[in-house]
């Protein structure tokens, strides 16, 4: 199972190197980064899965020379960990706004009920 940290490690390496003008392919990534960073826990099969996910998600594309390039979305993407944090932040914000809205509606109903009982009963 691929983690967001592993995805980010490969994605951000590709992003950094392509922005510097390097031609990035499997061997380049594997030999210069993945094989020298065993704490990532990425083997050849997982590495292949990561590359396929980056391509499937539209952040990286592969050319006819088997080199990887960032897409427009890839240039703007900040990483999977950042995206997960942003999603969680939005979810928490939506829950908070929902609670505040519910309390406001409840308060208005309570005030109207009080006024009704005060003046019309």
Confidence of residue 111 (pLDDT cuts 50, 70, 90): confident
Statement: the pTM of the whole predicted model exceeds 0.75: no
Question: What does the pLDDT look like over 19-30, one tens digit per residue?
Answer: 888 889 988 999
Residue 24 burial by CB count (10 A; 0-12/13-18/19+): exposed, middle or buried? buried
**pLDDT 10s digits, 11-66:** 999 999 988 888 899 889 999 899 998 998 999 999 999 999 999 999 999 988 88
**Greatest mean pLDDT range, 5-14, 73-82, 107-116:** 5-14
Average pLDDT taken over every residue of the chain: 85
Domains and CATH numbers, the chain: 4-76 (1.10.460.10)
């Amino acid at each position: 199972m691929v983690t967001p940290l592993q995805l980010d490690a490969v994605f951000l390496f590709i992003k950094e190197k392509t922005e510097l003008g390097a031609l990035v392919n499997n061997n380049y990534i594997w030999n210069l980064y993945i094989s020298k960073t065993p704490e990532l826990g990425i083997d050849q099969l997982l590495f292949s899965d990561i590359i396929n996910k980056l391509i499937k998600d539209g952040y990286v594309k592969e050319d006819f020379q088997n080199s990887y390039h960032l897409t427009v979305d890839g240039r703007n993407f900040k990483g999977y960990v950042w995206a997960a944090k942003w999603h969680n932040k939005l979810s928490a914000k939506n829950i908070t706004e929902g609670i505040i809205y519910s309390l406001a509606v409840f308060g208005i109903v309570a005030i109207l009920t009080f006024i009704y009982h005060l003046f019309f009963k």
